[in-house]
Amino acid sequence: MKLSVVKLDAKKAGDIELDDAVFGISEIRGDILQRMVRYQLSKRQAGTHATKSRSNVNRTTKKFGNQKGSGGARHGSRNAPIFVGGGTAHGPHPHSHAHDLPKKVRALAMKHALSAKVKDEALIVIDAATLDGAKTKDLSAHFKKLGISNALVIGGATVDEGFARAARNIPNIDVLPLAGLNVYDVMRRKTLVLTRDAVDGVHARFAATEKA
């Protein structure tokens, strides 16, 4: 399929050919996107939540009551979970929340995410993501001409420093290099903005994957 390419000032800059196998999937699989987002968020979790068991609580271990005659149960330590200030029974401990997801499923999820943006008419291809001066005001004006208010911008192998600095102060705008392209960030933003270099990089990535 063909898609128009525009410049930052919203002027036309020709057309670009998009691979239908990557950008032209008609039936979007929401379950695959959900699995991929869950996979990414699970890997991000710190997993540092922890509670103290009775062996970690600093309380007296002296026997505090008579063995018999109290009318209650026999206890030998205040560290037991049934007492206030005692340890926690079966509480969480530090661990990784990450889980596996097949490489083919991850690649398919990215294709469905890109195709979903094309289907929703929320994909914009720009000639280049460069800015002479790192002026937030100038970049905001360009985005306004393009109708962009909530977007993920993907540059080439590297991100232009002036463009990144100008976009840093604009809310709901994320700027990432091609290596940072991921399903979660694509889906969380309303519009996906790709440069020509980014489109070529996406095609090359999937071509290499299919060859492998």
Task: Please report, as a single letter, which amino acid is at residue 73.
Answer: A
Does pTM surpass 0.85? Answer: no
The overall average pLDDT reported for the chain is: 92
* pLDDT score, position 207: 85
Report H helices in the chain.
20-23, 30-44, 103-119, 136-146, 161-167, 183-188, 196-211
In the chain, where are the structural domains located?
2-44+98-211, 51-91
Q: How far is 180 from 182, CA to CA, in rounded Å?
A: 6
Q: How far is 65 from 75, CA to CA, in rounded Å?
A: 7
DSSP-derived pairing of the beta strands 123-126 and 151-154: unpaired
Residue showing tokens 């294709």: 111
Q: Sorting pLDDT into bands at 50, 70 and 90, what band is 89? A: very high
* pLDDT score, position 211: 62
| CATH for the stretch 2-44+98-211 | 3.40.1370.10
Q: How far is 87 from 164, CA to CA, in rounded Å?
A: 49
Q: How far is 182 from 193, CA to CA, in rounded Å?
A: 13
Q: How far is 22 from 115, CA to CA, in rounded Å?
A: 7
Q: How far is 208 from 212, CA to CA, in rounded Å?
A: 6
Q: How far is 188 from 186, CA to CA, in rounded Å?
A: 6
Task: Please report, as a single letter, which amino acid is at residue 105.
Answer: V
Q: Sorting pLDDT into bands at 50, 70 and 90, what band is 77? A: confident
Q: Sorting pLDDT into bands at 50, 70 and 90, what band is 134? A: confident
* pLDDT score, position 212: 56
pLDDT of 191 over the 70 cut: yes
Q: How far is 57 from 76, CA to CA, in rounded Å?
A: 15
* pLDDT score, position 210: 67
Secondary structure element (H or E) that encloses residue 17, with its range: strand 12-17
Residue showing tokens 């670009």: 16
What is the rounded average pLDDT of the residues 148-162? 93
What is the rounded average pLDDT of the residues 34-51? 95
